[in-house]
Structure 1
Amino acid sequence: MVDRSIDHPLQPKRRWFLKTALAIGAVGGALGTLVYWHRGMSNGKLTEHGRDVLRGLTMAIVGPMLPKDKAQREAIIEGHLAHTETFLNGMPNVLQIQVNALLGLLGNYPTRKMLTGMGAAWGEATEDELAQALETMRLNPLPSTRLTYQVLRSLVCMSFYSNSAHWPLTGYPGPVQI
């Protein structure tokens, strides 16, 4: 006869399984709601959270090329964000949705902390914190996190370097006249 009072820990009961599934579903739903609420774009425009993430990424990736003067730097970054918005609107809808989700993930504290290890908001982070966040994503053992880094870095670089007004900042004189 089997003693039902002794349960082996490796054989979970159905109720335990259902409770665990409900808890995981609730956490997933909450994170999904946060990502939707703090999404990166809405109606073809960058949201406040999307601008904050892209501003931080821009500072971390191309910041050393920007002028030291705060007013000039801010003007260039604002122009870059406007150019990035136009660039994103020119992408296929599928890519816009994916970039929107990535910006939403990085705009929320819980998912930003999981992906980058950075607790501060993008706009409040120091240059060292931004660099460390990108390095964490770049060297992460999970391929999806490394891919997130590559996509966002490519997005910032493509929209920055495709703007001919930024070429003098990088030392590029422009195309050679033939």
Structure 2
Amino acid sequence: MVDRAIDHPLTPKRRWFLKTALAIGAIGASLGGLVYWQRGISDGKLTNSGRDVMRGLAIGIVGPMLPKDTAERDAILEGHLAHVEVFLSGLPNVLQVQIGAILGLLGNLATRKMLTGLGSSWGEATEADIAAAIETMRMNPLPTTRLTYQVVRGVTCMAFFSNSDHWKLTGYPGPIAL
């Protein structure tokens, strides 16, 4: 005899569990494939997606220090991106892969929306949208999202402030001659 008390609709069955696990695996593999396809670093260089993300992050993190003139601002941001590539190439391979994955997550629409709430690409977003996205990462209740914020902020700031050409933008006159 079969006990019908066990057939309650809220009681998970083995087939339901297998279908759910398969669906979660397929979604995870799809997102992983998208992140790999949109990765931020390839062969030691920033990809177009990685450049877009790093440019947007630079605008959001060091934007108040950048000049208001569009031509000057673009020149400084292009120099910053070149300096980021040099900075990243000096890191160990494992860190390059991890930062590339983070840039891939932030470059991919689905994962960018989950991490930052930003629905448009970094290049199309306004400064207010970028500031809100960065603030969302910074104040997120999930430690992994806050860690993502700390990594991208750290890379952006280290690359920007280690370039002596940017010191005058911050008001720092440079080291004192002894």
Bin for the TM-score computed over the shorter chain: over 0.9
Give the Cα–Cα distance (whole angstroms) in 2 for the partners of residues 91 and 138 of structure 1.
24
User: 1:132-167 CA deviation, whole Å, 9 max, x = no partner?
Assistant: 001000000000000100110010000000000000
Please tell me the residue identity of whatever aligns with 2:69.
D
Listed as ranges, the matches of 1:9-28 within 5 Å are 9-28=9-28
Give the Cα–Cα distance (whole angstroms) in 1 for the partners of residues 7 and 143 of structure 2.
38
Give the Cα–Cα distance (whole angstroms) in 1 for the partners of residues 68 and 74 of structure 2.
10
Aligned to 1:124: 124
Alpha-carbon RMSD across the aligned residues, in angstroms, is: 1.2
Give the Cα–Cα distance (whole angstroms) in 2 for the partners of residues 3 and 143 of structure 1.
45
Please tell me the residue identity of whatever aligns with 1:110.
A
Q: Which one is further off, 9-18 or 33-42?
A: 9-18
Please tell me the residue identity of whatever aligns with 2:19.
K
Give the Cα–Cα distance (whole angstroms) in 2 for the partners of residues 115 and 103 of structure 1.
12
Which runs of no fewer than 5 residues in structure 2 stay unpaired?
A: none
Quote the sequence identity (%). 72
**How much does 1:111 deviate?**
0.2
Listed as ranges, the matches of 1:1-178 within 5 Å are 1-4=1-4, 7-178=7-178
**How much does 1:176 deviate?**
1.2
Please tell me the residue identity of whatever aligns with 2:138.
R
**How much does 1:6 deviate?**
6.1
**How much does 1:177 deviate?**
1.4
Give the Cα–Cα distance (whole angstroms) in 2 for the partners of residues 156 and 12 of structure 1.
47
**How much does 1:8 deviate?**
2.2
Give the Cα–Cα distance (whole angstroms) in 2 for the partners of residues 29 and 6 of structure 1.
34
Give the Cα–Cα distance (whole angstroms) in 1 for the partners of residues 6 and 161 of structure 2.
66
User: SS of the residue aligned with 2:7?
Assistant: coil
**How much does 1:10 deviate?**
3.9
Please tell me the residue identity of whatever aligns with 2:101.
A
Please tell me the residue identity of whatever aligns with 1:126.
T
TM-score by length of 2: 0.97
Please tell me the residue identity of whatever aligns with 2:34.
L
User: SS of the residue aligned with 1:122?
Assistant: coil
Please tell me the residue identity of whatever aligns with 1:57.
L
Give the Cα–Cα distance (whole angstroms) in 2 for the partners of residues 95 and 10 of structure 1.
44
Give the Cα–Cα distance (whole angstroms) in 2 for the partners of residues 16 and 140 of structure 1.
32
User: SS of the residue aligned with 1:12?
Assistant: coil
**How much does 1:7 deviate?**
1.5
User: How many residue pairs are counted as aligned between the two chains?
Assistant: 178
Give the Cα–Cα distance (whole angstroms) in 1 for the partners of residues 98 and 70 of structure 2.
32
